């Protein structure tokens, strides 16, 4: 793994390298094998406002600025979070890939309903690997989940259009959200769904398996041979690992628009974390995650 930086250096380069080693080792351990011989993180840290990350097969390009953001503790964790997300894409998306994009047809539209796997699972796992590799503690992971859940709960679009249908639409209107509140986000709503799946598998298997177990199987069966992934392949593999079908999650929260609050409270509780919410003065939903004793 190589790290290339243009412009501003993070305040502690040794820690920056050590954290890359930590989340990279942790992800490789969970998948069993790494898809390429070499992997390169290309960083652009210009002194202007920017936030971007894009995955390639054996590299990623990440931009963040301005300089004072890069050198702050918050900005540092933001960069490491993006980096962990983009590395996860080396398996999920670049190899475990929706069938509509295998191979990618650049001559015409190729929308897919599987953005909740491509970006949702990656967003959830990118953050989870910060915890698994010890870069953040449980409190730090709860802070990441709090921010995710607040974005989820405050988007009325999740009740209007399922994350699968929103994914199909995302091909058309890209990363701009289109009409406010019309649809869900494959990143946010997809990551919340990934958490519900992860918690369900851990519950059904008494912690012996998790969503990572399923992703490793998907990598071995469909990613390494570069066969396209279908929704049925994904949900069948989750069921195989869990020992039970999870069609309620698929029907209600991937392909449906049911409210996630009750399942979220139950899933957090099973992990020993209490979840509550309140409205602030501006009418925004605020989330509180608290570790139970
Ligand atoms: Zn991504």
Distance, CA 171 to ligand 1 centroid (Å)? 14
Taking the C-alpha atoms of residue 129 and residue 90, their distance in angstroms, rounded to an integer, is 14
Distance, CA 122 to ligand 1 centroid (Å)? 6
**Residue 163 in contact with residue 116, Cβ under 8 Å?**
yes
Distance, CA 258 to ligand 1 centroid (Å)? 25
Our measurement of the distance from residue 154's CA atom to the centroid of its chain's CA atoms, rounded to an integer in Å, reads: 18
Q: Give the class (CATH, top level) of 1-90.
A: alpha beta
CATH topology of domain 128-293: Neutral Protease; domain 2 (1.10.390)
Domain with CATH 3.30.2010 in the chain: 1-90
Residue 175 pLDDT: 62
Spatial CB neighbours of 152, under 8 Å, sequence gap ≥ 6? 158, 188, 189, 192, 260
Q: DSSP H helical segments within the chain, as ranges?
A: 13-31, 67-71, 73-89, 115, 122-132, 138-153, 157-160, 163-173, 188-204, 211-218, 231-242, 247-249, 261-270
Distance, CA 35 to ligand 1 centroid (Å)? 17
**Residue 60 in contact with residue 86, Cβ under 8 Å?**
yes
SS3 state of residue 269: helix
Q: What is the pLDDT along the chain (293 residues), one digit of tens a residue?
A: 999 999 888 999 999 999 999 999 999 999 999 999 999 999 999 999 999 999 999 999 999 999 999 999 999 999 999 999 999 999 999 999 999 998 888 898 889 999 999 999 999 999 999 999 999 999 999 999 999 999 999 999 999 999 999 998 887 776 665 677 888 999 999 999 999 999 999 999 999 999 999 999 999 999 999 999 999 999 999 999 999 999 999 999 999 999 999 999 999 999 999 999 999 999 999 999 999 87
Distance, CA 176 to ligand 1 centroid (Å)? 15
ipTM (interface pTM):
0.99
Domain with CATH 1.10.390.10 in the chain: 128-293
Give residues whose Cβ lies within 5 Å of ion ligand 1: 119
Distance, CA 282 to ligand 1 centroid (Å)? 31
Distance, CA 289 to ligand 1 centroid (Å)? 25
């Amino acid at each position: 793994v190589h790290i290339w930086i243009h412009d501003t250096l993070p305040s502690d380069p040794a820690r920056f390298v050590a954290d890359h080693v930590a989340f990279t080792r942790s992800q490789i351990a969970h998948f069993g094998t790494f898809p390429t011989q070499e992997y390169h993180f290309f960083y652009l840290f210009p002194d202007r406002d920017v936030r971007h990350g894009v995955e390639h097969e054996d590299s990623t390009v990440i931009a963040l600025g301005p300089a004072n953001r890069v050198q702050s503790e918050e900005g540092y964790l933001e960069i490491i979070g993006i980096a962990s997300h983009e590395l996860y894409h080396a398996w999920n998306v670049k190899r475990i890939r929706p069938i509509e994009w295998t191979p990618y047809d650049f001559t015409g539209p190729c929308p897919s309903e599987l953005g909740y796997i491509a970006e949702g699972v990656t967003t959830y796992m990118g953050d989870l690997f910060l915890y698994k590799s010890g870069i953040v503690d449980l409190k730090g992971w709860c802070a990441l989940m709090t921010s995710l859940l607040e974005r989820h709960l405050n988007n009325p679009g999740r009740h209007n259009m399922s994350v699968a249908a929103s994914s199909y639409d995302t091909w058309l209107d890209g990363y701009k959200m289109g009409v406010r509140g019309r649809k869900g986000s494959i990143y946010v709503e997809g990551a919340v769904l990934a958490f519900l799946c992860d918690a369900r598998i851990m519950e059904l298997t008494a912690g012996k398996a998790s969503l990572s177990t399923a992703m490793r199987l998907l990598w071995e069966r469909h990613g390494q041979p570069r066969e396209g992934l279908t929704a049925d392949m994904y949900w069948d593999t989750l069921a195989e690992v869990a020992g039970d079908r999870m069609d309620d999650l698929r029907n209600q929260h991937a392909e449906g628009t049911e409210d996630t609050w009750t399942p979220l409270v139950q899933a957090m509780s099973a992990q020993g974390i209490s979840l509550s919410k309140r409205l602030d003065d501006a009418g925004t939903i605020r989330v509180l995650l608290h570790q139970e004793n």
